[in-house]
Amino acid sequence: MAVPEVNEKLLRELEAMGFPSARATRALQGSGNASIEAAIDWIIDHGNDPDVDEMPRVSIDLDVRSPEPCFVTEEMKKKARQLRPEEKNSPREREKERIRAGKELLEAERIAEEIERRRFLASRKAEKEEEKRARERVLQKLRNDKLERRQKLEVSSDSLMSSKHTLPLGETKMNAHVYSAAKAEQMRECLRSIRRNHKGDDARVRRAFQTLLTYIGNVARNPEVEKFRRIRLSNPVFQERVGALEGGVEFLELCGFRKTEGLEFLFLPRDKVDMGVLHSAGSQLKSALTNPYFGLL
Q: Which CATH number is 62's domain given?
A: 1.10.8
* pLDDT level of residue 85 (50, 70, 90 thresholds): low
Question: Among 36, 61, 83, where does a domain finish?
Answer: 83
* pLDDT level of residue 64 (50, 70, 90 thresholds): very low
**Tell me, what CATH number does 250's domain have?**
1.20.58.2190
Q: Is residue 129 part of a domain?
A: no
Q: Domain check: are 281 and 168 in the same one?
A: yes
Question: Among 48, 83, 118, where does a domain finish?
Answer: 83
Q: Is residue 269 part of a domain?
A: yes
Answer for the pair 205, 289: CB distance below 8 angstroms, yes or no: no
Query: How large a percentage of the chain has pLDDT more than 90?
Result: 40
Task: Work out the average pLDDT over 15-44.
Answer: 90
Q: Domain check: are 172 and 69 in the same one?
A: no
Per-residue confidence (pLDDT) for residue 62, from 0 to 100 = 45
Per-residue confidence (pLDDT) for residue 96, from 0 to 100 = 77
Q: Which of 276, 289, 292, 294 lies closest to 184, judged by CA? A: 276
Q: Is residue 19 part of a domain?
A: yes
Q: Is residue 90 part of a domain?
A: no
Q: Is residue 146 part of a domain?
A: no
Q: Is residue 157 part of a domain?
A: no
Task: Work out the average pLDDT over 26-36.
Answer: 90
Specify the number of domains making up the chain. Answer: 2
Cα distances (angstroms) measured from residue 121 to each of 66, 110, 111, 131, 133: 80, 16, 15, 15, 18
Question: Among 40, 67, 83, where does a domain finish?
Answer: 83
pLDDT digits (tens, 9 = 90+) for 255-285: 999 999 888 999 999 999 999 999 999 999 9
Per-residue confidence (pLDDT) for residue 164, from 0 to 100 = 46
Q: Domain check: are 174 and 272 in the same one?
A: yes
Q: Is residue 140 part of a domain?
A: no
Name every residue whose Cβ is closer than 8 Å to that of residue 231 and which is 6 or more positions away in sequence.
215, 238, 252, 257, 265, 266, 267
Per-residue confidence (pLDDT) for residue 102, from 0 to 100 = 83
* pLDDT level of residue 94 (50, 70, 90 thresholds): confident
Structural domain span for residue 23: 8-83
pLDDT digits (tens, 9 = 90+) for 137-186: 888 888 888 888 877 776 655 554 554 444 455 444 545 556 678 888 99
pLDDT digits (tens, 9 = 90+) for 202-232: 899 999 999 999 999 999 999 999 999 999 9
Q: Is residue 135 part of a domain?
A: no
